[in-house]
Amino acid sequence: MYGIINLFKEKGITSFKQINMLKKIFPDVKIGHTGTLDPIADGVLIVCIGKATRLADYIQAQKKIYKAEMILGLSTDSYDITGKVLNCVASDNVANHEIEIAINSFIGKQSQRPPIFSAKKVNGMKLYEYAIKEKPVEIRESYIEIIHINSIQIDNTSYNGIPMKRLSFEVECSKGTYIRSLCHDIGEQLQKGGTMSALTRMQVGNFKVADSYTINEIIKSKSEGIIENIFIPIENAINLPFIRLNSQDKRKYINGVKFEIRIVAGDYIIEDMDDKIIGIGSVDENCLLKGKVMLNEDY
């Protein structure tokens, strides 16, 4: 058994615990996910079952859309509302148009510093492990892209009686983008500080939150014997063109033999003459096709 599931990760629980719940549903199958969500966040968490774990890198590389909320004027060590409060100042005096200008200034390609409380690894250790142990670590910036920021809303709120502004917006971004860092950086640019107060991952590639399944829905599907209905076809999961191979070329592909094919260089979903997907291959500049991922259950 292998496939891809669009799991709705619930708020207040770690991605790791949600995956462990799935492992109880699929006890004898390898399971992997394509990017964690913080406990404070909910939304799309793409899970790969069995041989589909070989596709994780392709899915993880796809663009993501988030709906974020932040408090302007509040600063924490984790860059979100669950962290230790470092500073809080009034922000109700910041004009809305200044806020919108600051938010939109982050659209484009840029370097971003990950939060210290994150799962990003440095020298084999996760950053949050350095933070917990209070060990010094050099945090290198990552190269990311904010593609769009839409649906900006600005409301009045307060924290411990201090008047502040709550900002919400929708972000389309590249792999590796930390929305907590974006909220922090927006606050710093406005010289007030900022922290993320809520986050929903709305979409990963073609996977939308409206089409996701909760753990309970997955359990119900399995008990009813219709678990295959929630598996997403590979062609819907990965945005790649197709190459169809005849039986002779299929055999070469399965045996790991490079062979010439007149087509533009790049990655392709490989299928046979029966429309069965057998893997993902890459065509180089010399028009040679090489298999990268094998998915055919028979080989």
Euclidean distance between CA atoms 45 and 66, whole angstroms? 12
Half-sphere exposure of 103 toward its Cβ, with a 13 Å CA cutoff? 26
Short-list 201, 207, 174, CA closest to 55: 207
**Active-site residue 284, yes or no?**
no
Compute φ and ψ for 25, nearest 5 degrees.
-80, -35
* C-alpha span between 256 and 261 (Å, rounded): 15
Instruction: Report the greatest alpha carbon distance in the chain.
Output: 73
User: H/E/C letters for each residue in 141-196?
Assistant: CEEEEEEEEEEEEEEEEEECCEEEEEEEEEEEECCCCCHHHHHHHHHHHCCCCEEE
What does the angle CA 77 – CA 43 – CA 117 come to, to the nearest 5 degrees? 20
Catalytic residue among 28, 38, 77, 272: 38
Overall residue count recorded for the chain in this entry: 299
Cite the active site residues. 38
